[in-house]
Structure 1
Amino acid sequence: MGNLSYKKIAAIALAVLLVICAGLVYLRDHTSVGKHELNEIADVSAAYQADEEIAEAKDKLQAGIEPAQVITTLPEGASCVAIVIDGLPDRPLTARLIDVLEKHQATATFFVEGQNAADQPETIRLLRDKGFELGNYTLVGLADFDKASQDEQLAELCRTQKIVNVRSAFTPTLFRAPRTVFTDELLKTVHAAGLSYAVKENMRYKKGTLASQENAAAYAANIPDGSIIAVEIGHPVERKAETKGDIDERPAIDMKPTIHDDGQKPAAPTVDLADELDWLLTALENRGFKVMNVNGFRKIHYIPANAAVLAGQAKEAAKAQADALVNQEGGAADGQ
């Protein structure tokens, strides 16, 4: 009986010890980690504002600043291309894309929305841990960015810069935005926000373009040497005309499959974008192309394609105004 009592006492003591250990683990996970998460949330909230950075950028604009340079295509004979990813993928897709890029010993620059970077810190860390460069894709992937006011542009750019830095300890130097014309004024604003370069693609790739390696070979045959290929991930956020300058700050998220009505056949499963990238890179390799970092491409002082047309229109308007003034003066003299 005595031995049995000792065994019971030992079992009770062990159970108490296990309960104490479990309690300590719980407290650790719900106090120290909780405080860390609260601090992180506070950091991101502050990063959304970036008031000091915006004020500094405005000072630079007022003092006069050169436009950001534009990274553009290479001439024929370079035997290379560059790939930029427009929009931050979710973490599973990011991991698959990284696997494909590493398989082909290729690189890419990921242009991320500031809000998505704030919401997906683990994705940002994965990209940086693997050595991929991050670019500024505005706070929400705002389309027609050149048409936004300067205040909107600075808020989108500076807030994204700060969020990405908070999340990754990396400060982007490259800028892109959906369906955006690189005007001289926009490039000055981009430079004032701390971004030295804007990247101008000559080819856009949409998910679902390829269905097989054979498709990829035909597609790659039409890619010019020295191209910059933009792969669309995020969905651009449209500016609402009725908001008078306010922006829709919903994150640019990946589309989810829709629910089918009863009686309808479900849509055929789509090819994974990582598979498409794998096929495309294989086809480029077969053409003898190497995938380079976009920073190695040409950097130029950019003149928009319609700049000459706009300058001609401005010249004609000025001439018409001058002629009208002369006619007014001539009419006044005749009247005298």
Structure 2
Amino acid sequence: MSYKKIAAIAGVVLLVVCGCLIYLRDNVLVEKRDIPELTDISAAYQADEEIAAAKSKLEEGIAPAEVITTLPAGGNCVAIVIDGLPDRSLAARMADVLQKHHATATFFVEGQNAADETETIRLLRDAGFELGNYTFVGLAGFDKVSQDEQLEEICRTQKIISVRSAFTPTLFRAPRTVFTDALLQAVHAAGIPYAVKENVRVPRHVLVDEVAADAYVAGIADGSIIAIPANRPVERKADTEGKIDERPAIDMKPTIQDAGEQAPAATEDLASELDRLLTALEKRGFKVMNVNGFRKIHYIPANAAVAGEQAANAVSKNVTDKMQGGEAGGQ
């Protein structure tokens, strides 16, 4: 057979193979990549049925979710919660640090990040860590939005996490949020029985070395719930009622800083700070336990408690005045 015929046959075979590969790429393999991207989340995770069911529970007068809070002193234990989903690399390092210290933590994740960071969600679940609901974008001042918005954020996040991890969160948190009865009712209606209230919030870039970590931990009370922020909260726009800053919730990279905030050194790492924190806690004899083991209460916000006390005092004073007035009239 001549070289020309061989070359022609080889060319035909090559064209057929290339055609098959192109067909597979465009019509078969593309299905394996058909995972909702960030821009597709709105359509893929509306959670309409879940939101409708939650609204029905609200109308029926569902009780508020209970709040998990601190333990009385004497148990030599603390709990750790991570606010926001770290990127995969940081999450892996934090998981390694926690496992090295035989400690546990609950990662409160944003629905938006959970949808986009499937591998990170799987990594944390495979390592045995619990996931909590941190609203859809990590929205600060969550008690100030309407119940409809609350239900939408919470229900969509519940759906995304359950789809991505085959785990349905039972714990809720939101940054800089007051746990009002109305909010806790929305949380419970969305299928979450507990909200978690921390009493210690570790600032970033404070645990810079062993000495700093020891000094910081010296002020942590026995039975504390310690919150560690991994992401910056999304802020509501102060000048426009009902609108929020919808920037995606992202990991606090060293190149991102708030106005007036000193730029952190590039070598600073949340996993290293967590390592120093856990080491300092061990020195004090504290064991890190799951936050589910802490007290569960019907929570009354401090401002509501003060208002209630003032109202009670006013009623008491009014009754006293009337009694004194009656006595004076009788005389």
- Given candidates 274, 292, 302, the residue that maps to 1:305 is 302
What secondary structure sits across from 2:302 in the alignment? coil
Residue 62 of structure 2 is matched in structure 1 by: 65
Question: Bigger shift: 179-188 or 305-314?
Answer: 305-314
CA shift digits 1:131-167 (9 cap, x unpaired): 2111111011111111111111111111111111121
Residues 1:169 and 2:166 aligned together: yes
Contact 2:85 2:251 in 1 (8 A): no
Residue 129 of structure 1 is matched in structure 2 by: 126
- Given candidates 134, 139, 143, the residue that maps to 1:146 is 143
Structure 1: which 5+ residue stretches go unaligned?
260-265, 320-336
Aligned residues: 312
* Matches of 1:105 and 1:211, distance apart in 2: 22
**2:225 alignment partner AA:** I
* Matches of 1:39 and 1:89, distance apart in 2: 20
- Give the TM-score of the pair, scaled to structure 2: 0.83
What secondary structure sits across from 1:96 in the alignment? helix
What secondary structure sits across from 1:141 in the alignment? coil
**Offset of residue 46 of structure 1:** 3.8
Residue 204 of structure 1 is matched in structure 2 by: 201
**1:32 alignment partner AA:** V
- Given candidates 58, 74, 84, the residue that maps to 2:71 is 74
**Offset of residue 254 of structure 1:** 2.4
**2:31 alignment partner AA:** K
Give the 5 Å matches for 1:220-259. Answer: 220-258=217-255
**Offset of residue 270 of structure 1:** 3.8
Residues 1:207 and 1:11: Cα distance change in structure 2 (over 3 Å): farther
Residue 324 of structure 1 is matched in structure 2 by: none
**Offset of residue 12 of structure 1:** 10
Residues 1:195 and 2:222 aligned together: no
Paired-residue identity, %: 67
- Given candidates 38, 45, 52, the residue that maps to 2:34 is 38
What secondary structure sits across from 2:246 in the alignment? coil
CA shift digits 1:222-264 (9 cap, x unpaired): 21111110001111111124443233322221244449xxxxx
**Offset of residue 93 of structure 1:** 0.6
* Matches of 1:24 and 1:267, distance apart in 2: 52
Structure 2: which 5+ residue stretches go unaligned?
257-262, 317-331
Contact 2:254 2:265 in 1 (8 A): no
**Offset of residue 27 of structure 1:** 5.1
- Give the TM-score of the pair, scaled to structure 1: 0.82
Residue 328 of structure 2 is matched in structure 1 by: none
Residue 282 of structure 2 is matched in structure 1 by: 285
Residue 183 of structure 1 is matched in structure 2 by: 180
